[in-house]
Amino acid sequence: MFNDFKKLQCFIALAEELHFARAAERLFMTQPPLSRQIRLLEEATGVRLFERNSRLVRLTEAGTFFLQSARQMVAIAEQSVDTARRIQSGHAGRVTLGFTAVSGYYLVPELLARAQQALPGIEIVLKEMVTSEQVDALQSGALALALMRPTIAAQPGLIHHRYHREPMLLALPDSHPLAQQAQILPEHLRQQPMITYAPNEGRYFYEMTLEIMADVSPQPIFVQHISQTHSIMALVSRGFGMALVPASARYLGISGVAFRPLWPDARQAETWIAWREQAGSAAEERLREFIVGELG
């Protein structure tokens, strides 16, 4: 095998010029070393690349093929160095972003659009997972950024910012009489059937539902415990009860469900953006800075 790119450059120049003196000039060298490089390349590969005599230089069939490969190798050499530099400086790269299913329909497309415009070289790879999975994935390095619900316990080594705040809404079948109310008050919910989140996988909304419902007396009747918002919405649409869901659940687009705002001081839901203390790549760091700037 041949050993250096110099030989490839010589070969390409000669293949294009088909004239040693002109090719050598293009390579800023004299003819004899060019002649030698070509001979060495032919010896190293065991392939006659040019038919030549003192009057004529012509590519062989094998040389014509090899020209394509030589150009490819040189092109990869140039591009890869350029791209590697851009990765090092944070102007290119791939960043994985985790998100919860509901935020995927509302926050993620908007964030993606703004980020891709501001940082066009950075590719954002999306992974949908629930909050607890996101925390693990951040700590293992499988995720760089996470759009997730707040966690009760502070997670060591992780940083978070409040990314978004939205009201909780009452989701109920649109045929239900309460769907006519402009605003829901605690007394409306007395002893109503209420679907709520599972206390482990959907802990944040489970606790939030209990807290908001503390104002209702006597309490509603909790009929199901479900981990994911879209499953809850499906049950609501089929008349199994009502539920408290974050406002972005509207974007799930499930038909037959009405959404009504709660009384004014009812607690709101937050979405956090979180990451490890030290960034895994420069691109990740630039994307973080962009997001923090946007939060401003």
Partner DNA sequence: TTTCCTTACGCCTATCGTAAGCATA
Partner DNA sequence: TATGCTTACGATAGGCGTAAGGAAA
Q: Is 53 in the site for DNA (CB under 7 A)?
A: yes
Residue pair 88/121 in contact (Cβ under 8 Å)? The answer is no
Neighbouring-strand partners of residue 147 = 99, 273
CB-based burial label for 3 (10 Å; 0-12, 13-18, 19+): exposed
CA pseudo-torsion sign 104, 106, 110, 115: negative
Q: Is 33 in the site for DNA (CB under 7 A)?
A: yes
Q: Which stretch binds DNA (CB under 7 A): 51-59, 199-207, 228-236, 241-249?
A: 51-59
Minimal CA–CA distance to 173: which of 192, 191, 197, 198?
Answer: 192
The nearer residue to its own copies, 8 or 252, going by C-beta atoms, is 8
Q: Is 48 in the site for DNA (CB under 7 A)?
A: no
Residue 27: CB minimum distance to DNA, A: 8
Size of the site for DNA (CB under 7 A): 22
**Peptide bond before residue 150 is cis, with ω within 30 degrees of 0:** no
x-or-dash string of contact with DNA, 144-173, rule CB under 7 A? ------------------------------
30 binds, among DNA, its own copies, none (CB under 5 to 8 A by kind): DNA
Distance of CA 152 to the CA centre of its chain: 25
Q: Which stretch binds DNA (CB under 7 A): 27-35, 68-76, 168-176, 196-204?
A: 27-35
Residue 289: CB minimum distance to DNA, A: 29
Measured between its terminal Cα atoms, the distance across the chain in Å is: 57
The helix (H) or strand (E) run that includes residue 276 is strand 268-276
Separation between Cα atoms, residue 152 and residue 87, nearest integer Å:
35
Query: Which residues are at the interface with its own copies (CB under 8 A)?
Result: 1-6, 45-49, 60-63, 65-66, 69-70, 72-73, 76-81, 83-85, 87-88, 93, 280-283
Site residues for DNA per CB under 7 A? 4, 6, 19-21, 28-33, 35-40, 52-55, 57
